[in-house]
Amino acid sequence: MTEPVAQLRPMMRRDRASHALGMRVVVDEPGRAVVSMVVRDDMLNGFDITHGGLVFALADTAFAIVCNEDEQVTVAAGADITFLKSTHAGQELTATGARRARNGRTGLYDITVTDETGDVVAEFRGRSITTNRPFPEESA
């Protein structure tokens, strides 16, 4: 199992969805992010394979980290995913994200989701837009 980063950014400390899914931020660097999650029984669909929406959620979390690399709030403008391999309860999935291009307010990012053997489970491509929104205040 991969070890999480020592200190999470405020954005990830407030991310209740990722926390509820048991995601762990392993790498948080400018232009690069790695996030892992162990598939639980309650994450399976009716065919006893990992629900595609949860694979997307893992990739989307890595995307959120990698595209928010400065002091401006950046959000998804769109994303696509291709599922390549099914997974099951007990498997560890890892989403590795990288910046491909960033120009002005827009960016393009690729996220690869692998299983614990290194097999590719999904490929995700996200498009970002930088906003003028302020960061939310941190709770005490």
Q: Which residue has the tokens 């890892």?
A: 94
- Domain extents for the chain? 10-130
Q: Output the pLDDT for position 121.
A: 98
Mean pLDDT by 10 residues, the chain (140 residues): 69 93 95 97 98 98 93 92 98 98 95 98 97 72
Alpha carbon 82 to its chain centroid, in Å, reads: 15
Please state which CATH number belongs to domain 10-130: 3.10.129.10
- 59 — phi, psi (to 5°)? -65, -40
* Residue that is written with structure tokens 């498997």 in the block: 91
| Distance (Å) of CA 80 to CA 72, 113, 116, 140 | 23, 13, 23, 36
| Amino acid (1-letter code) at residue 44 | L
